[in-house]
Amino acid sequence: MMQCPLKSKRWERRKEARPQELLAAALDLFVERGFAATRLDDVAARAGVSKGTLYLYFANKEELFKAVIRENMLPALDEAEDIVKQHKGDSASLFEEIMLGWWERIGLTKVSGISKLIMAESGNFPEVARFYYEEVTSRVHGMIVSMLEHGIARGEFRPIDTKEAMRVVVAPMVMLMMWNQSFGACSMEPISPQSYLRTYLDIVLHGLLREPAVSSSPRK
Amino acid sequence: MMQCPLKSKRWERRKEARPQELLAAALDLFVERGFAATRLDDVAARAGVSKGTLYLYFANKEELFKAVIRENMLPALDEAEDIVKQHKGDSASLFEEIMLGWWERIGLTKVSGISKLIMAESGNFPEVARFYYEEVTSRVHGMIVSMLEHGIARGEFRPIDTKEAMRVVVAPMVMLMMWNQSFGACSMEPISPQSYLRTYLDIVLHGLLREPAVSSSPRK
Amino acid sequence: MMQCPLKSKRWERRKEARPQELLAAALDLFVERGFAATRLDDVAARAGVSKGTLYLYFANKEELFKAVIRENMLPALDEAEDIVKQHKGDSASLFEEIMLGWWERIGLTKVSGISKLIMAESGNFPEVARFYYEEVTSRVHGMIVSMLEHGIARGEFRPIDTKEAMRVVVAPMVMLMMWNQSFGACSMEPISPQSYLRTYLDIVLHGLLREPAVSSSPRK
Amino acid sequence: MMQCPLKSKRWERRKEARPQELLAAALDLFVERGFAATRLDDVAARAGVSKGTLYLYFANKEELFKAVIRENMLPALDEAEDIVKQHKGDSASLFEEIMLGWWERIGLTKVSGISKLIMAESGNFPEVARFYYEEVTSRVHGMIVSMLEHGIARGEFRPIDTKEAMRVVVAPMVMLMMWNQSFGACSMEPISPQSYLRTYLDIVLHGLLREPAVSSSPRK
DNA sequence: GATGAATGAGGGTTCATTCAT
DNA sequence: TATGAATGAACCCTCATTCAT
């Protein structure tokens, strides 16, 4: 079918680049449509290869998905953990740096869609959920808990239940990402990150700090 | 089952009860598996009718889903709006009453699963998302914005961007519901609502109030 | 496609007859092509239904196959076992009756193809093989061993290892069925059952009997 | 593997050895899984070459299969025919020698799996079946018929229909090979060749010989 | 009103074969 | 000669929807 001189393209070997192209296409579609609703046909097509090719690089849909997460989430997470470990200054600044960095590195990119996706499909694909929880969620949680504990230990934050507080302060960040991937994507009142983040830091730091005067006037 | 002499009576009641039974079954399954992954076969089976019967009451899967939302979300929302309108006391108490009431009325029930569900499937079923946004989300948002504005007007809350603050303070409530519907349901670190809600109110009210002294010591 | 007034046929309900029609179609195709190579599409088409319909009656390919065996093999086996149990006369006659009856009931029909099929695919579908072995093979073996033991006990057959002898005497019957299903079906020297069976009984009974004079001249 | 200084020599030998290695791998896998279920990927992998290389030596799967048969079946067949032609002694001894030799040369090796395989897949690959029939089966049949005719001519065997008798006496040998390749391989009542062959020769020779006294007591 | 048999398009996955390198 | 990336047709199975009864 379709005998054309460009057919030779078909045999172009791109072993090096293929996995990256497939992962990029998969990220796009998983985030757009969810895990179950993404057809591997479409992933392959978007990467410009046939469906069979996909199976040369990934054993199945789940492995492809795990690879997407590994590729996109883990580097940013490594960085964030480094920042926390090496931080010297006050806790409020660290908190701000981490949250704003998160937004830069994850929130602004398609990767932010993964949170929604995981939450959405965890019921039907428990193995995927477990993988994400172990590789990503638990590390994020640990990192934030340690920030809060550090702040309390230094007398900067009020003494609170750090485990619960971690969940409370994480929630608005996750929701920001999820909202813009769901309703926002359908152009229903998308959140403007700038003022949202400012207000978030204002309220949360005001809520955490022992001396709220510090952040009583929004920064920037 | 349950052979009784009043069989005719029972059948009459049944005829009217059908949609309710279907809606209950649909809520269960939609929340458990998501919109796309729920099979109408199973909904019908759980309601004790045949698959065809389902189509007598609902034109298709989407209409069934909308009916589930109408049935389960709107009454609680009506009540909450009433409470806000009729409230006389201080803003922090109202805030607490609304949030704890939300948890009682929605969070503790299966209905809480709908948030996750909507967010999850909004990409693939935009009409469903739009319906939910218009019928539910926008009303919830309006209600909370008005609570915050009222508190600021009364000089109880610090002056802040109420639209953004609304999103920030809603996020932990929504996340609580979603978490326990996704990871929590897979027994991965489920959140215990009691202490979570206490910490949430502590941090958020501390962050909102002009005189944080009021809630500096956690209640209860 | 094919808009015709007979389309209403599509909705003809045949719940009673369907399974039989599907089993008949499945027997044909399994025997013709083997288990793995039989497409359920084709089974459905031959039964005059769509692919989906097949799944209303059989959970999957393996279950369909098991049903084919149950439907076609077990009744004949029940009968044969009855004949053996109730037999009164001499052992050679019983042996002849069973073997010729086997040929009538199984060998002449498509069912005879199942032996080949099972042997062929046992490696790739062990569960199927096990099912067949337990439901069919072991019963056939038991029946023939008991015939041989009976003959020896009555002093008609020479004393031999009945387990091994059973296998030896069964082999030509199974091969007759298998040959005509494989090479014979490709019109390569098909076996003519009549003279084959006569020669088989001649040689085997001659080999088994204590007084070979009895069957020294071929019958018929 | 095996780094040795004579690398060039090794490569030359290797080049010639390739088809042999491929044929050995193919025999293993065809016998284990059947024709259709054997993946050329696996054949190549087991031979330690790439899939593409396979196509340098064999035009396609069928040709590979034919080559496997030629390589493995024909030499043993040549030998057997020689033995028959040169035999001088009595027919029963020749019969025994041929059958036990068959078992040594074919039955004990993987080659025995080919019978099952051919019978199994003849329906779907008629050309393969025809090839096997012409190259192997018809020659085996001719050889055995001539043995029987010789025995009858010498007055050792009873006069019988040699064509049918040939099939009858071949059947238990073929079944022995097939059984241990199918059910036996799944550890369902595998046949012990020793006593099986003894009983086989006992019954069949008893059935064929004019003076059954000769073999009335099992040998060995 | 109620049923449930029937449909058929569609998705994940496999594998013989091709051919640029 | 040897490679192995790429293809694409096929197959099993699912499920929303239809409609004769």
In a domain, D32, yes or no: yes
Same domain, B10 and B107: no
**Amino acid present at A31:** V
Name the helix (H) or strand (E) containing C197. Answer: helix C193-208
Question: What angle do helix axes D61-86 and D113-121 make, rounded to 10 degrees?
Answer: 130
Establish if D119 touches chain C: CB-CB under 8 angstroms: yes
Name chain D contacts of C137, Cβ cutoff 8 Å: 183, 188
Same domain, B100 and B193: yes
- Domains contained in chain B, number: 2
Q: Tell me the C-alpha distance between C10 and C43, whole Å.
A: 17
The whole-number average pLDDT for the span B116-135 is 86
**Candidate from D188, D200, D208 with C-beta closest to C168:** D200
Name the helix (H) or strand (E) containing B198. Answer: helix B193-208
pLDDT at D157: 97
Same domain, B26 and B85: no
In sequence order, what are the residues at sequence separation of 6 or more whose Cβ sits closer than 8 angstroms to the Cβ of residue A11?
Answer: none
In a domain, D169, yes or no: yes
Do the two chains D and A touch, given a threshold of 8 Å on CB pairs and at least 3 pairs? no
pLDDT at C117: 86
Comparing CA positions, the residue from D78, D61, D76 lying closest to residue D22 is D61
Residue C200 in this model has a pLDDT that exceeds 90: yes
Establish if C207 touches chain D: CB-CB under 8 angstroms: yes
Which positions in strand E are less than 7 Å from the protein's CB atoms? 1-21
Give the residue from A188, A191, A205 with the most B CB atoms within 10 Å of its CB, the best one to mutate. Answer: A188
Q: Taking a C-beta distance cutoff of 8 angstroms, is the pair C50, C44 a contact?
A: yes
Chain A adjacent subunits, 3+ CB pairs under 8 A: B
Beta strands in chain C (DSSP E): none
Chain C adjacent subunits, 3+ CB pairs under 8 A: D
- Answer whether B170 sits within 8 Å of A175, measured CB to CB: yes
Give, in Å, how far the C1' of F4 lies from the CA of A189.
51
Average pLDDT of chain B to the nearest whole number: 86
For chain D, give the longest Cα–Cα distance.
67
pLDDT at D17: 63
pLDDT at D117: 85
Name the closest residue (CA) to the C1' of nucleotide F15. Answer: B39
Q: What is the DSSP letter of D158?
A: P
pLDDT at C12: 55
Same domain, B151 and B180: yes
Interior CA angle at A28 toward A24 and A34, to 5°? 130
Give, in Å, how far the C1' of E1 lies from the CA of B24.
21
Comparing CA positions, the residue from D134, D107, D108, D129 lying closest to residue D118 is D129
Comparing CA positions, the residue from B114, B118, B124 lying closest to residue B71 is B114
Beta strands in D61-213 (DSSP E): none
Q: Tell me the C-alpha distance between D142 and D166, whole Å.
A: 9
The alpha carbon dihedral of A68, A71, A72, A73 has a sign of positive
Same domain, D23 and D104: no
Q: Tell me the C-alpha distance between B94 and B169, whole Å.
A: 14
Q: Tell me the C-alpha distance between A211 and A58, whole Å.
A: 53
Establish if D128 touches chain C: CB-CB under 8 angstroms: no
pLDDT at A5: 38
Q: Taking a C-beta distance cutoff of 8 angstroms, is the pair C84, C94 a contact?
A: yes
Compare all CA atoms of chain B with the CA of A117 and give the residue at the minimum distance: B120
In a domain, B63, yes or no: no
* Residue C157 main-chain phi, psi, to 5 deg: -95, 150
Residue B174 in this model has a pLDDT that exceeds 70: yes
In a domain, D21, yes or no: yes
The whole-number average pLDDT for the span C202-213 is 86
Comparing CA positions, the residue from B175, B88, B156, D114 lying closest to residue A115 is B175
pLDDT at A159: 97
Query: 3-class SS at B209?
Result: strand
Establish if C120 touches chain D: CB-CB under 8 angstroms: yes
Task: Tell me whether residue C155 is exposed, middle or buried, using C-beta atoms within 10 angstroms of its C-beta: 0 to 12, 13 to 18, 19 or more.
Answer: exposed
Q: Tell me the C-alpha distance between B25 and B27, whole Å.
A: 5
Compare all CA atoms of chain D with the CA of C117 and give the residue at the minimum distance: D120
Compute chain B's Rg from CA coordinates.
Answer: 20
Distance from CA of B12 to the nearest CA of A (A): 38
Give, in Å, how far the C1' of F20 lies from the CA of C14.
12
Identify the CATH number of the domain in which residue C171 sits: 1.10.357.10
Q: Measuring from the CA of residue C54 to each C1', which nucleotide is nearest? A: E6
Name chain C contacts of D168, Cβ cutoff 8 Å: 172, 196, 199-200, 203-204
Q: What is the DSSP letter of C209?
A: B
Beta-bridge partner residues of B209:
B157
Distance from CA of A15 to the nearest CA of B (A): 33
Beta-bridge partner residues of A209:
A157
Provide the domain limits for residue B8: 1-58
Same domain, D76 and D144: yes
Which positions in strand F are less than 7 Å from the protein's CB atoms? 1-21
- Answer whether B199 sits within 8 Å of A175, measured CB to CB: no
Q: Taking a C-beta distance cutoff of 8 angstroms, is the pair C124, D34 a contact?
A: yes
Same domain, D85 and D172: yes
Residue C216 in this model has a pLDDT that exceeds 80: no
In a domain, B64, yes or no: no
Same domain, B110 and B195: yes
In a domain, D87, yes or no: yes
Q: Measuring from the CA of residue D40 to each C1', which nucleotide is nearest? A: E16
Q: Taking a C-beta distance cutoff of 8 angstroms, is the pair A32, B123 a contact?
A: yes
Q: From the first residue on, what is the mean pLDDT of each consecutive set of 10 residues in chain D (220 residues)? A: 40 57 93 89 94 93 91 91 92 96 92 87 84 93 96 96 97 92 79 94 96 47
Establish if A39 touches chain B: CB-CB under 8 angstroms: no
pLDDT at B184: 76
Residue C169 in this model has a pLDDT that exceeds 90: yes
Same domain, B189 and B115: yes
Give, in Å, how far the C1' of E2 lies from the CA of B6.
21
Same domain, D18 and D89: no
Name chain C contacts of D188, Cβ cutoff 8 Å: 129-130, 133, 137
Q: Tell me the C-alpha distance between B143 and B166, whole Å.
A: 9
Compare all CA atoms of chain A with the CA of B211 and give the residue at the minimum distance: A212
Query: 3-class SS at A87?
Result: coil
In a domain, D63, yes or no: no
Cα C47 to chain centroid, rounded: 22
pLDDT at C13: 58
Structure tokens at D55: 């196509």
Task: Tell me whether residue D186 is exposed, middle or buried, using C-beta atoms within 10 angstroms of its C-beta: 0 to 12, 13 to 18, 19 or more.
Answer: middle
Query: pLDDT of chain A along its 220 residues, tens only?
Result: 333 333 344 555 566 678 899 999 999 999 988 899 999 999 999 999 999 999 999 999 999 999 999 999 999 999 999 999 999 899 999 999 999 999 999 999 999 999 988 888 888 888 899 999 999 999 999 999 999 999 999 999 999 999 999 999 999 999 999 988 888 777 788 899 999 999 999 999 999 999 754 444 444 4
**Candidate from B138, B176, B188 with C-beta closest to A130:** B188
CA atoms within 13 A on the CB side of A197: 20
| C-beta neighbour count of D218 within 10 angstroms | 12
Per-residue pLDDT band for B19 (boundaries 50, 70, 90) equals confident
D64: left (phi over 0), alpha (psi -120 to 50) or beta: alpha
Q: Tell me the C-alpha distance between C97 and C81, whole Å.
A: 12
In a domain, B78, yes or no: yes
Q: Measuring from the CA of residue A10 to each C1', which nucleotide is nearest? A: F6
pLDDT at C11: 52
Give, in Å, how far the C1' of E10 lies from the CA of A39.
10
Beta-bridge partner residues of A157:
A209
Same domain, B54 and B78: no
pLDDT at B129: 87
Name the closest residue (CA) to the C1' of nucleotide E13. Answer: A60
Same domain, D24 and D115: no
Identify the CATH number of the domain in which residue D46 sits: 1.10.10.60
Q: Which of A195-204, B103-112, C173-182 has the highest mean pLDDT?
A: A195-204
Do the two chains B and C touch, given a threshold of 8 Å on CB pairs and at least 3 pairs? no
Residue D66 to residues A147, B74, D22, Cα–Cα distance (Å) = 71, 73, 13
Beta-bridge partner residues of D157:
D209
Beta strands in D54-130 (DSSP E): none
Residue C4 in this model has a pLDDT that exceeds 60: no
**b/e C90-115 (16+ beta carbons within 10 angstroms → b):** ebbebbbebbeebbebbbebebbbbb
